[in-house]
Amino acid sequence: METDESERVVPFQLQFDKPAPSQIKMAEWNPEKDLLAMVTEDSKIILHRFNWQRLWTISPGKCITSLCWRPDGKAVAVGLEDGTISLHDVENGKLLRGVKSHRVAIVCLNWEEDDGCGEDGDNTVSYEDRTLRFFAPAPRIPRMPGVVSGDSTLMDNSEEPFQNSLNTSHQRFNILCSADKDGDICFSIFGIFPIGKINIHGLSLPVTGDQVACQILDASIYKVALSKDFCRLIILCSGEYSSGSSETTRGLSGHKTQGMHCLVLDTCIFQKRKQELHQVAQQASNIEDLTEVIRASLSMMYKQWCDAMQIFHDKFHSLSTLIASNGLDSSPQEEFLSLLGGARTSPPVHQFLVNSLGESGLKRVMKAVSNAGNELQLILLDHIQPAAEIIGFRMGELRGLSRWRARYGGIGLDEKLIDNATEKVGMLLVQVVRFVQILASVSQQYSNFSSWLLRCIKILMSEPSDQLPSYNSELVIMFLKFLYDRDPVKLLLDQSAVDHNVPINLDTKQRVEELVKLGGFADTDCLSRTLAKEFQFMESSFKEAFNMPYTTISKEIVCEQMLPLYPFESSPPSTFGSVPTSISFYWDAAPDVLTRETSGENLVDYITFQVPEWCSSDVSNCICILRGVISEADNIRNRYTTLEALLLSVSKDLNCVDLSLYKERQIVLLLNGTTSDSSGHAQLMMVQTSDLPFVPISRSTSQNIWNLEQLQDSILPFQMEGAKVRSIPHNVVPPLAVSSSRGVGCVFASRKRALVYILDEDEEEEEASDMD
């Protein structure tokens, strides 16, 4: 689908023009590989190679509202309408983890990784996974055994690469930021471990003396971006903010303005405590993985045992019916005890053993119970126990770190809470050992009972019983009294029966209390709890211990600067699409910036957005570009020392539908024709920002508020002659996905076709050499 171009070289070469299965609403290029993740209108995720080979398609089953790649390109984060963030493996699309960070739809995701720039060389705290020295590889979630011969609860070897993609031991320090439509912004290390949360509603600048106070009252977030050094978070939003004296904001609100705003938040805590956060997050995320193994294992054990017991009770229930139909006033246990004592076999018992149950039926029932007991023991010894042991080891390491208050107290690692969580892990191990003993005893009694019944059936049918296994009469009596219509194994595993108290004798309780004096667990009631309840206690202690760093870090994140951009002349529509925005961070990226002569290294932020139509009519069809500079020499890494901006006025014949920052000083725009003669005609172009005349923006002397009103007097008409342009002979719709590695623009046409353009690299290199 080539277009009629002039004889000049066209910088964007059409690479592919392919049909899409449905209209695409989101698209992101993999940061490390030539892979494109796309989200369709029916909320399916599709992954394509650069040659348009489809790798996989998945459907989360819920509306997808945002998309973002992990910086290493091995996983993709998907935000859903219910507030869940799901992480998917790049190789096959499998769900790695689902994290419920929000209560409403997630509108924006941003994932940044430590790039090593600006480090102070303090590497005194480093992480080493020492569990490999003392333990076998961590257990995985078991699989439910199927009908295939040889199937077991162990996972296939093919699952190993899938699990490694979530292993935090191989990842560099990274933080995932997620924002929802209610204004909540959450931070999670590795996309797994929650480490902070703020809400922009009510967010205000610090006020001292007679400074002017500003506070965000209500806002909708367009985009959030965390800087590459983790020192600041930029939020582009629209809504209402109030301004007035400090006395005014303490009581009644001051002057209110509705419009677009840019907030700069201080997140230096992530950089200052990077080493500590890295180590705690790796330990905590691995603990969460192992906790999930235990949770899934307990659930699987409960289901397997209940299925086996259901088979047993369904088969033996007919005996109660036979007893009632024969007019007897006795229970099945009494009838079996009478048979065991040598009395004459009653008609209902004879009919049940010979006709209803039979030898084959008894063997099927007891095989189901025996297999369930073996599977439960295998899960306990191969999954739950090793997982709990590794958790205990990791909690022991965190316990040691929590005593280093000078470093880890600053991120909220509380020694008492960690001690309590460590003790709860030990109690779970005690419960596991006890459960193994109870399970072995119950399985033995079921086996002994079945041996006795089998002998009874043989005798009643006048068949030889000499070769049958022997049985213990006392164990049969114990089974009939305590296990026939009771199920201690189910009670220990049942999540809904966690309030059930396990009876323990006084001698055992006294011995436990004596062990406390010798340094044992302080909680002497642990043996009266079920295994399921002990696990819930352990989970609760983890949540409490790890919530302290979450709360501590959240309090450290404050708003440092506010940029009121443009007021709204009219109220925005109740349902409006996302404003085209793009935010990028660079180190020492702009040689023409005013502070370039300083001795320190500069951090440069580029913020670009289309001014929406409900703003001032004078700037409604303009592209605003902000360039903020933070100088290392000032030792204030979260405040702009210089802010420059400009407004590009787009022709009335064109309308910007999407934009993206590309590499260091270039912006890619996607424009649609608006007039009747240009209908069905779009433009894909790249603008060099270094050629644009930025205007320095003054700052209020009484507060860190930048004033952009002066830009309205110096709007720059957009000159298409100096830009790299490619015409597209039809209207297009977002998204515009730009790959920084290959310079690829991906445009999706409204007629469900995907167009992939690649920038002529030879031309780009020639321009760069001319600039040098």
Cα of 133 vs its chain's centroid, Å: 29
Name the helix (H) or strand (E) containing 246. helix 246-250
Which pLDDT belongs to residue 770?
A: 43
Range of weakest confidence among 397-401, 485-489, 623-627, 719-723: 719-723
Which residue is associated with the tokens 């023009």? Answer: 17
Which pLDDT belongs to residue 420?
A: 93
pLDDT at 756 over 50: yes
Q: What is the percent of the chain with per-residue pLDDT over 70, rounded to a whole number?
A: 79
Distance CA 55, CA 91 (A): 8
Question: 568 versus 328: which is more confidently predicted?
Answer: 328
Which pLDDT belongs to residue 655?
A: 85
Which pLDDT belongs to residue 390?
A: 96
Range of weakest confidence among 122-131, 397-406, 578-587: 122-131
**Helix, strand or coil, per DSSP, at residue 138:** coil
Which pLDDT belongs to residue 281?
A: 93
**pLDDT-based confidence at residue 123 (cuts at 50, 70, 90):** very low
Q: Which amino acid is at 282?
A: Q
Range of weakest confidence among 265-279, 304-318, 700-714: 700-714
Which pLDDT belongs to residue 241?
A: 76
pLDDT at 575 over 60: no
Q: What is the percent of the chain with per-residue pLDDT over 90, rounded to a whole number?
A: 42
Range of weakest confidence among 53-57, 199-203, 240-244, 425-429: 240-244
Which pLDDT belongs to residue 388?
A: 96
Question: 343 versus 41: which is more confidently predicted?
Answer: 41
Q: Sort strands 95-100 and 654-662 into parallel, antiparallel or unpaired.
A: unpaired
Which pLDDT belongs to residue 216?
A: 78
Distance CA 93, CA 96 (A): 9
Rg (Cα) of the chain, in Å, rounded?
A: 34
703 contacts 654 by C-beta, under 8 angstroms: no
> Which ranges of 357-469 would DSSP assign to H, the alpha helix?
358-379, 385-402, 405-408, 415-460
Which residue is associated with the tokens 């459960």? Answer: 435
359 contacts 454 by C-beta, under 8 angstroms: yes
How confident is the model over 274-285, as pLDDT tens digits?
Answer: 999 999 999 999
**Helix, strand or coil, per DSSP, at residue 613:** coil
Which pLDDT belongs to residue 84?
A: 95
Which pLDDT belongs to residue 706?
A: 55
How confident is the model over 358-375, as pLDDT tens digits?
Answer: 999 999 999 999 999 999
**Which of 267-271, 508-512, 559-563, 703-707 has the highest average model confidence (pLDDT)?**
267-271
User: Which pTM does this prediction carry?
Assistant: 0.84
Q: How many helices (H) and strands (E) does the chain have?
A: 16, 30
Question: 169 versus 632: which is more confidently predicted?
Answer: 169
pLDDT at 395 over 50: yes
Q: What is the mean pLDDT of the chain?
A: 82
Distance CA 625, CA 660 (A): 11
261 contacts 243 by C-beta, under 8 angstroms: no
The residue extents of the domains of the chain are 271-497+531-550
Residues belonging to the chain: 772
Report in angstroms the alpha-carbon separations of 457 from 138, 315, 351, 524.
47, 15, 10, 47
**pLDDT-based confidence at residue 451 (cuts at 50, 70, 90):** very high
Which pLDDT belongs to residue 151?
A: 39
Cα of 609 vs its chain's centroid, Å: 28
206 contacts 299 by C-beta, under 8 angstroms: no
CB atoms inside a 10 Å sphere around CB 537? 21
**Which of 61-65, 598-602, 651-655, 666-670 has the highest average model confidence (pLDDT)?**
61-65
Stretch 588-616: mean pLDDT, rounded? 64
Which pLDDT belongs to residue 695?
A: 82
